Amino acid sequence: MAEDWAADIKKYAPKADDAVVAKLLSTYRLVLGNRDSAYVATSDPDEVATVRKNFLKGKLGLTQDDAVLDAAISEVAARMKGDRTKSRATVYYLLAEKFDKLDTFK
């Protein structure tokens, strides 16, 4: 799979920190290398729950209500509505940015 994940992130966050992008891509390189896990199906409740549990709560350490976290995922999905396939790297970057947690990847 020859996706340019960094370019996809920059499409939605033109001023994205290159070091943060590189670290995020390094952290999730195995996930991004698998077509089944490289994209987030934001319309699938199980996928939303996985992003909430594993990324927002697990990786970013967020403690907000599930409804707040799910609303953030929906907000990112709406922002990316022009893309039929939503890159996991981009979704994760935008969520980390929204919650001011980009330092997690420094």
Contact present, 24 and 106 (Cβ < 8 Å) = no
Q: What is the pLDDT of residues 3-13, one digit of tens each?
A: 799 999 999 99
Give the residue among 1, 3, 8, 21 at the shortest CA–CA distance from 76.
Answer: 8
pLDDT (tens digit, 9 = 90+) per residue, 18-67?
999 999 999 999 999 998 899 999 999 999 999 999 999 999 999 999 99
Cβ burial of 11 (10 Å; 0-12, 13-18, 19+) is middle
Nearest alpha carbon to residue 40 among 91, 83, 102, 4 = 91
Work out the average pLDDT over 80-103: 95
Handedness of CA 42, 44, 45, 50 (dihedral sign): negative
